[in-house]
Amino acid sequence: MEANEKILHTSLHMFFRFGIKHVTMDDIAKELGMSKKTIYQYFKEKDDLVNQLCACEVKQHEKDFNELGRIAKDPIHEIMLISDKMREMMQHINPLFFIDLQKHYPEAYNEFQRFKETCAFKNIVDNINKGMTMGLYREDIDVDFAAKYRLAQIEMLMFGNYFTFEKISLVQSSQNLLELFVYGISTQKGHKLLDQYKKANEKE
């Protein structure tokens, strides 16, 4: 792994665990076992590190979305695969990460917003259209509204003030919102298929 990749990788895990503001460049250097001078050879300052990190994560998520869409058996399976991916990621994220991103790192936050409004929106629209064609989703759905509603759920979860995550985890909150969305847009056929995938996941 190249030095800059190692810095990004370590920083991401630290930011996820403690939040961005609670991690200093000294902390990152200590964790890496290298000097801050070495880190500054690749990143001008902490803001630059956060911005580059977010840009890399967005690119990776775009690749992941495309790959999951390619291997999915059907639109509901695609949603389940994306849900599994999100669950795996959110298990290691302190909600402070999203709060810090929104409040203190506007360039990185805007990069996330761009991803949400372009790639994520298109992915949801395509998924809904395919599901309607296959009889898995209701025919009376306003696709544009439903896609924006799903994005609003994600925005509310990550950047809203509606969850304290004391009685319910970030992971479970994400799962609950996803199921409310999918059950809401699905036909009976879609409900049965979703239940099958959920049971299969529970057995694993």
The per-residue pLDDT for range 67-100, each reduced to its tens digit, is 999 999 999 999 999 888 888 888 888 888 989 9
Split into its structural domains, the chain has a count of: 1
Is 0.75 surpassed by the pTM of this model?
yes
175 pLDDT higher than 90: no
pLDDT of residue 90: 80
The answer as to whether 8 is a domain residue is no
The answer as to whether 21 is a domain residue is no
The answer as to whether 184 is a domain residue is yes
Q: Mean per-residue pLDDT for 5-34?
A: 95
Domain limits for position 140? 45-203
Residue 55 to residues 12, 110, 122, 132, 198: CA-CA distances in angstroms?
Answer: 12, 10, 19, 33, 32
Write the DSSP symbol of residue 91.
T
Q: Mind listing the pLDDT tens digit for each residue in 24-42?
A: 999 999 999 999 999 999 9
The answer as to whether 196 is a domain residue is yes
The answer as to whether 199 is a domain residue is yes
Q: Mind listing the pLDDT tens digit for each residue in 100-115?
A: 999 999 999 999 899 9
Nearest to 181 by CA among 191, 171, 189: 191
Write the DSSP symbol of residue 166.
S
pLDDT of residue 54: 93
Q: CA-CA-CA-CA torsion for 37, 42, 48, 52, nearest 10 degrees?
A: -150
The answer as to whether 36 is a domain residue is no
Which CATH number belongs to the domain containing residue 103 in this structure?
Answer: 1.10.357.10
The answer as to whether 143 is a domain residue is yes
The answer as to whether 193 is a domain residue is yes
Mean per-residue pLDDT over the chain, rounded: 91
Q: Mean per-residue pLDDT for 126-135?
A: 97
Tell me the residue type at 91.
Answer: Q
203: burial class by Cβ within 10 Å (0-12, 13-18, 19+)? Answer: exposed
